[in-house]
């Protein structure tokens, strides 16, 4: 976006200089709107001066897509496994106001399609993953039904309009996996399309800025250190992930209050914290904020 504007500005200035020179000589012979300029360098369509001014004004004042702006503002690097850009580290500027909750949500990643994946910073309560004991989110699990029914309906109409139904990765995770690429592939092997879900195990790992904490096994071997280099860590609660356990049909992975990953039974009676995840439409615009906790991004 910045390069396009820069190119247009250079071309516009060159064109206006040419146009002014012509207009000084020929002003008495034809109206200024008929003056033409060479727009080969600018990338603009218009060849008359007023048209070029109007066009360039539109280019410079148009709001860039929110996802593009977030990536540029924060210098985010592309994920090596998917076409996404992740916020990493202990406390990046990834706070966003959503559902009228200032700094109540944080951005996990921005997709190459412009969608923004966000997670509620604090839990909405402690609930069983599935009251029947199944770890199949698409069944649907009882938590799936709650989030996409009661909880979704509790959001403001504006917030509901900003959410887009998307494919969530629900493939099972292998315990103590030390191959992140393989784990991402396994998660992506099965998807569920809907509006609200939870973060996956690999997302917890990929938001870590420490290269030694990027796999299940290395993270858990060094969790006392690794928990300090990801903003997703919450020392107050055990919280559910979306990822089921490949080795056990009734267990699901969670992050415990010590920071390490483990699994437990999804059945009724296991009440862990819930941090909902949604995808925001690529059409949302940033209208304020810098992503810090004191000045979160605001959108419309």
| pLDDT, greater one: 225 or 268 | 225
Question: What are the structure tokens assigned to 29, written together?
Answer: 């012979």
CB distance 119 to 199 below 8 Å: yes
Question: What are the structure tokens assigned to 221, written together?
Answer: 């071997």
With a pLDDT cut of 90, the percent of the chain lying above it is 71
β-pair type (277-280, 196-197): antiparallel
Look at residue 14 in the predicted model and tell me its pLDDT. Answer: 43
Residue found under tokens 């247009």? 8
* All structural domains of the chain with their residue ranges: 2-61, 66-280
User: Which tens digits make up the pLDDT trace of 103-116?
Assistant: 999 999 999 999 99
Buried b (16+ CB within 10 A) or exposed e, 261-286: bebbbbbeebebbbbbbbbbbbebeb
Look at residue 275 in the predicted model and tell me its pLDDT. Answer: 98
DSSP reduced 3-state for 208: strand
pTM: 0.80
SS (H, E, C) 254-281: EECCCCCEEEEECCCCCCEECCCEEEEC
Whole-angstrom Cα distance, residue 178 to residue 94?
A: 28
CB distance 105 to 298 below 8 Å: no
- If phi > 0 it is left, if psi is from -120 to 50 it is alpha, else beta; for residue 289 that is left
Q: Is 75 exposed, middle or buried (0-12, 13-18, 19+ CB in 10 A)?
A: exposed
**Banded model confidence at residue 53, pLDDT cuts 50, 70, 90:** low
Look at residue 162 in the predicted model and tell me its pLDDT. Answer: 98
């Amino acid at each position: 976006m910045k390069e396009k504007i820069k190119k247009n500005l250079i071309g516009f200035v060159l064109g206006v200089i040419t146009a002014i020179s012509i207009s000084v000589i020929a002003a008495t012979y034809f109206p200024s709107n008929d003056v033409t300029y060479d727009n080969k360098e600018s990338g603009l369509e218009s060849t008359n001066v007023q048209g070029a001014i109007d066009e360039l004004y539109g280019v410079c004042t148009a709001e860039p897509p929110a996802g593009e702006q977030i990536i540029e503002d924060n210098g985010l690097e592309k994920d090596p496994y998917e076409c996404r850009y992740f916020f990493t580290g202990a406390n990046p500027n990834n706070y966003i106001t959503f559902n009228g909750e200032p700094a109540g949500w944080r951005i996990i990643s921005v997709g190459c399609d412009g969608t923004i994946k966000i997670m509620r910073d604090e839990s909405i309560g402690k609930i069983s993953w599935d009251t029947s004991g199944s770890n199949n989110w698409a069944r649907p699990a009882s938590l799936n039904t709650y989030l996409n029914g009661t909880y979704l309906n509790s959001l403001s109409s504006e917030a509901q309009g900003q959410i887009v139904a998307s494919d969530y990765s629900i493939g099972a995770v292998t315990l103590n996996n030390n191959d992140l690429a393989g784990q991402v592939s396994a998660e992506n092997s099965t998807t569920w399309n809907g509006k609200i879900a939870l973060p996956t195990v690999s997302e917890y790992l990929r938001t870590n800025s420490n290269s030694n904490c990027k796999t299940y096994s290395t993270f858990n071997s060094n969790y006392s250190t690794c928990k300090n280099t990801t903003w997703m860590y919450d020392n107050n609660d055990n919280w559910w992930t979306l990822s089921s356990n490949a080795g056990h049909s009734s267990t699901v992975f969670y992050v415990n209050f010590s920071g390490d990953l483990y699994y437990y039974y999804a059945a009724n009676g296991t009440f862990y914290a819930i941090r909902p995840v949604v995808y925001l439409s690529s059409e949302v615009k940033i209208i304020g904020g810098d992503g810090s906790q004191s000045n979160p991004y605001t959108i419309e």
